[in-house]
Structure 1
Amino acid sequence: MSPDTEQFHSRLRMRMRARATDEPHRASSQLELLFDLTFVVAIASITAQLAHGITDGHGFQTVIPFLQVFFAIWWAWMNFTWFASSFDTDDAPYRVLTMVQMGGVLVLAAGVPAAFNDGDFLLVTLGYLLMRLGLIVQWVRAAVEDPASRRTASRYAIGIAVVQLGWILRLLLDQAGLLPNLWQVPAFIALAMAELLVPMWAERHHSTNWHPHHIAERYGLFVIILLGESVLATSTGVAASLDAGGVSGALVTISAAGLVILFALWWIYFLEPTGNGLSSNRDKSYVWGYSHYAIFAVLAALGAGLEVAVEQTGHHLDVSAATAAYGVSIPAGLFLLLFLAVHRPIVEHPVVRPSVILPAAVVVLALPLSVGLIGVVGVVALIAVICALVVVVSVLRRTSVHFSN
């Protein structure tokens, strides 16, 4: 058999083995990047629905379905990411099963409007089921082909399947009218907690071989996706404002401020050496990985808030200035607080100091109190200034430490 033929067959089908945790130059594959694109659609859909809820004066009521659907999106993405970090073979069966999971994401995205507007989670649950079936088969394959990981992989397959039956039962009871509205959220919380417990149970005796720098890169790419959705949401608001009233100084100012906020938050997130921190603190990966749900959720919510603020400035939506201001300040301020809380356990010498980020977060969260004096544009502009100052102070501090050493 020629070398080219051997290479073809190895790519067509290769034995699934746990990958090395110290594999050099481990980066996201083209398949992982393609996989992420399907989540762009799902996140754009829930961001738009949250923006509509805020615009219609139902922001608080919309938050619950937003967090529920976002959990399904985040958890499916995270499970795929950590599995790929440990067992990615990139052969034909692996690619096909990844495509199945991508199809599930698209089905879920199609069901977002019904989930938000009618409380109908049929398509969302079916899409989630499709994603989980693909992952279960992957874990079964790992259990069969990698004896060293058999116990852990089998537990993952069993745990995911059992919890998925719970989601199906919840859907059936809801469709039959046997699940009272009062029990909808508690049932969701119980099943979500069960999902979170599966990895802890599965890896109780033997952990998977995830790569710290690969995981850090994957999480960073998801942050970029979320910030990209905020750019899209802001541009949607600008387009609607231009259609309603044309260009104005206020519209230009708030659009520029929104861009500065997004750029500053991106800069802040990537200031910390997360890969090195995870490498040195593998035992804290659960806390770090799970708590990113909150970071990701507030970044998605920021996109909705910016869209509402821009539209409110451009053609005076039927929403109060305070609501529009809080729609930006709450996710931006929470991001600063969550960033500190999430990275502090794994980063020994943080670049972004608590003495810088904590006061900044407090001020950002309090700024909407002044909306009566400076307006929504003033509030968003000041949030941009504060976030930019956090970047400037942190970068200057890192530079001074570097030169002192």
Structure 2
Amino acid sequence: MEEKKVTWLELFYDLLFVAAVATATHALLHVEKGHIHPEYLLKFALMFIPIWWSWTGQTLFINRFGQDLLHQRIFMILQMLFVLIMTSSLSVDFDQYYLSFLIGYIGLRALTAIQYLVVQNFEEGNRKKVALFLGTRFWIGVIISFLSIFFDSWIRYAVLYIGIFVDILVPVLGRKYLEKAPTNIAHLLERFGLLTLILFGESVVSTLFVLQPQNGNWNSISFSIISFILIISMWWQYFDNLEKKVNKSIQSTGQTIIYGHLFILMSMSMIAASIKLMFLHEVYYFFILYFVFISVLLYFIATTLVFHQYRYEQHRLKIYHLGLFLGILAAFFVINLIMIVPYIVIMGELTVFFIIYAKLTTT
């Protein structure tokens, strides 16, 4: 498959979405009576999903049909304006900013659908059919979400997210069409990898900002160091797999990569929030124990599934590897349930897990 390079405009585009992700993650820092209220956990997911899908939708268009042409640049710049509108509307007080959020999301998705309809005029054969299919079917979800403006209360949100989930399901339901014009796997992995890298950077920056050691507090300094080693271990595992263990010449629709990264990115945000909450001691011990281990388990399962399908066969993990990793996590979790330990110990355990995970999956 022809090599496809990431453009500077794509990288600029990513930065705006990372700001949106950081805003959504902030919902996880709303602690009430020692735990994150379920309402904020739900709001985090409901903010995160449209952010991820808006970025993914445009990335997939670029992957199949993108060229560094003037009209495509203009489309992306217009999309960036809608990203700013959507990001500025992200708040736990969602009702107050609903209209501007809807304008931002609808604008993003409508522009992507229009791009498909424009490009199908210049394509032939299967590529034309794919562009026409996506350019027409994506309007179904866009229109359903737009209709939410005519409703109030919870019905409005139900209609909005029905439209979003219909939109997300379009590539799955149209898989037989998309297989005839497969994605560029090398470019797709690079795009998701770059977004993930920026989120790793955001995690480091936000973590170190909260964990600033003051007056030579060695507990704070130690927590900072262990947190940094944990994040570096996650980075090592992800990018060594991406660079060395994955067969990028495989032709497919890339849907494991696409949908798997929703859970990778969400779990990264959850882990970053867990680090902050543990350091600030604002949550009950058993709540944060469940929350952080669920976050790590979600990240582990998502990265394992995403990379397994695209690994070179000789590098694929065996079932006993899965048992080993799950066993380590389960052992640490049970020990911490039986015996209450300092948060810095929990961070140390998770760091050990990620070091082992990185070592065994990248050598």
2: CA distance between counterparts of 1:41 and 1:350?
A: 35
Whether 1:77 aligns to 2:55 is yes
C-alpha displacement at 1:351, in angstroms? 5.7
1:280 counterpart = 2:247:
no
Deviations 1:57-113 (A, max 9, x none): 334321211111111111111111111111122111111110111122221111111
Change (3 A) 1:363 1:184: farther
Q: Among 99, 102, 120, which residue is 1:122 paired with?
A: 99
C-alpha contact 2:227 2:347 (8 A) present in aligned 1:
yes
Corresponding residue of 1:199 = 171
Q: Give the AA of the match of 2:303.
A: F
Q: In the alignment, does 2:133 pair up with 1:155?
A: yes
- Out of 95, 108, 113, the position equivalent to 1:136 is 113
Quote the Cα distance in structure 1 between the aligned partners of 2:331 and 2:144: 41
Separation of aligned partners in 1, 2:149 and 2:315? 44
Q: Which residue does 2:234 correspond to in 1?
A: 265
1:182-229 deviations in whole A, cap 9, x for unaligned?
x845x4553333112222455633543521111111111121122222
Q: Number of aligned pairs?
A: 356
Preserved contact between residue 357 and residue 390 of structure 1 (Cα < 8 Å): no
SS of residue matched to 1:152: helix
1:255 Cα offset (Å) = 1.5
In 2, Cα distance between the equivalents of 1:83 and 1:118? 29
Shift, 1:380, TM fit = 0.8
For the pair 1:34 / 2:12, whether they are aligned, the reply is yes
Shift of 1:154: 2.1
Within the alignment, does 1:360 sit opposite 2:325 as a pair? yes
Distance 2:79 2:144 in 1: 19
Amino acid at match of 2:103: L
1:230 aligns with 2:203: yes
Match of 1:349 among 286, 293, 314: 314
Name 1:190's counterpart in structure 2.
Answer: 162
Equivalent-residue separation in structure 2 for 1:260 and 1:127 (angstroms): 37
1:114-155 CA distance string (max 9 Å, x none): xx2345533322211121122122112111222333332222
Unpaired runs of 5+ in structure 2? none
**Distance verdict in 2 for CA 1:197–1:211, change over 3 Å:** same
SS at match of 2:195: helix
Q: Which of 352, 355, 358 does residue 385 from structure 1 map onto?
A: 352
State whether residues 137 and 157 of structure 1, in contact with CA within 8 Å, keep that contact through their aligned partners in structure 2.
yes
Do the aligned partners of residues 377 and 55 (structure 1) sit closer, same or farther apart at CA in structure 2, a change above 3 Å counting?
farther
Partners of 1:52 and 1:117 lie apart in 2 by: 12
Question: 1:337 & 1:48 partners in 2: Cα distance?
Answer: 24
Counterpart-to-counterpart distance in 2, 1:108 and 1:54: 27
Distance in 1, matches of 2:33 and 2:235, equals 26
Whether contact under 8 Å (2:140, 2:167) holds in the other structure is: no
2:189 to 216, 219, 244: 216
Deviation at 1:281, TM superposition (A): 5.1
Q: Which residue of 2 is the match for residue 294 of structure 1?
A: 263
Paired residue for 1:5? none
Find the aligned partners of 1:354 and 1:258 in 2 and give their Cα distance. 29
1:332 aligns with 2:303: no
Instruction: Tell me the TM-score normalised to structure 2 length.
Output: 0.87
Query: What SS is found at the alignment partner of 1:145?
Result: coil
The one-letter amino acid of 1:47's match is: T
CA distance in 2, matches of 1:320, 1:220: 34
Query: In structure 2, do the counterparts of structure 1 residues 297 and 34 end up closer, same or farther at CA, with 3 Å as the change threshold?
Result: same
Task: State the alpha-carbon separation in 1 of the partners of residues 33 and 203 from structure 2.
Answer: 16
Once superposed, what is the RMSD of the aligned Cα atoms? 2.7
Query: What does the per-residue CA deviation read over 1:15-56, in whole Å, with 9 as the maximum and x for residues that have no partner?
Result: xxxxxxx113x3311111111011121011111221224787
> Residue deviations 1:232-263, cap 9 Å, x none?
33123224x74xxx542221222111111111
Rate the CA distance shift 1:105–1:349 in 2: closer, same or farther, 3 A.
Answer: farther
| Matching residue's letter, 2:195 | F
